[in-house]
């Protein structure tokens, strides 16, 4: 299948919201209960823009959004400035085609360009597909927080995966 990868704009927010909401309602990819609204999505988009965090889309030949990925702040303390937490979502009818891997590779590329040092992924421990994709791209398991979430009448374990990047060349601290 032909596809292109590029940055998402506000025009993609309804498609992003649809992907988010399917994951919220039908999976443990998001430890959330309520579907997102356009008001929420607009605030989310504004926060990404203000933080200079990319929203990367994977589009088909008709420019329909098949999946997206982004990252944001891992923690708010200044010493965490070189660490970001990412997420990757693929439209339910497009899973299993390698799009998650393509988006993850692009997230890594953007993080290196922006001089981040560590990428963190919080993955539901039962999501073997996402875990496999991350391991294939050099992420390693750093730990599991058991029973971190509760959804669909059961406790959910959250696995943290990380990849250390070679950037930045000259990190600066505030000491």
Q: Is the pLDDT of residue 175 over 80?
A: no
CA angle 30, 32, 34 (to 5 degrees): 130
Q: How many CB atoms lie within 10 A of CB 32?
A: 15
Beta carbons within 8 Å of 121's beta carbon, 6+ residues apart? 85, 86, 87, 88, 130, 134, 139, 160, 161, 162
- Which of 48, 22, 16 shows the shortest CA–CA distance to 35? 22
What are the domain boundaries of the chain?
A: 3-164
Cα separations in angstroms, 96 against 42, 118, 125? 29, 27, 19
3-state secondary structure of 92: helix
Residue 95: per-residue pLDDT? 94
**Sheet-wide strand order for 83-90:** 3-7, 55-60, 65-73, 83-90, 118-124, 154-164, 140-151
pLDDT digits (tens, 9 = 90+) for 91-106: 999 999 999 999 999 9
pLDDT digits (tens, 9 = 90+) for 50-73: 999 999 999 999 999 999 999 999
Residue 2: per-residue pLDDT? 86
Mean pLDDT of the region 126-155: 97
Q: What is the mean pLDDT of the chain?
A: 96
Answer yes or no: CATH 3.40.630.30 is held by domain 3-164.
Answer: yes
Q: How many CB atoms lie within 10 A of CB 42?
A: 13
Query: How far does the chain reach from its first CA to its final CA, in angstroms?
Result: 51
Q: Is the pLDDT of residue 18 over 70?
A: yes
Q: Is the pLDDT of residue 174 over 80?
A: no
């Amino acid at each position: 299948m032909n596809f292109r990868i590029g940055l998402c704009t506000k025009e993609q927010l309804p498609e992003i919201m649809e992907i988010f909401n399917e994951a919220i309602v039908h999976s443990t990819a998001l430890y959330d209960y309520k579907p997102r609204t356009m008001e929420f999505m607009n605030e989310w988009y504004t926060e990404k823009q203000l933080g200079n965090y990319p929203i990367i889309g994977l589009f088909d030949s008709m420019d329909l959004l098949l999946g997206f990925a982004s990252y944001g702040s891992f923690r708010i303390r200044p010493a965490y400035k070189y660490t970001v937490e990412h997420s990757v979502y693929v439209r339910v009818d497009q899973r299993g085609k390698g799009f998650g891997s393509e988006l993850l590779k692009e997230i890594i590329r953007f993080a290196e360009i922006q001089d981040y040092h560590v990428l963190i992924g919080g993955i539901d421990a039962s999501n073997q597909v996402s875990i496999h994709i991350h391991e294939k791209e050099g992420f390693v398991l750093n730990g599991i927080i058991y029973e971190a979430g509760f959804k669909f009448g059961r406790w959910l374990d959250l696995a943290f995966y990380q990849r250390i990047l070679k950037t930045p060349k000259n990190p600066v601290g505030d000491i």
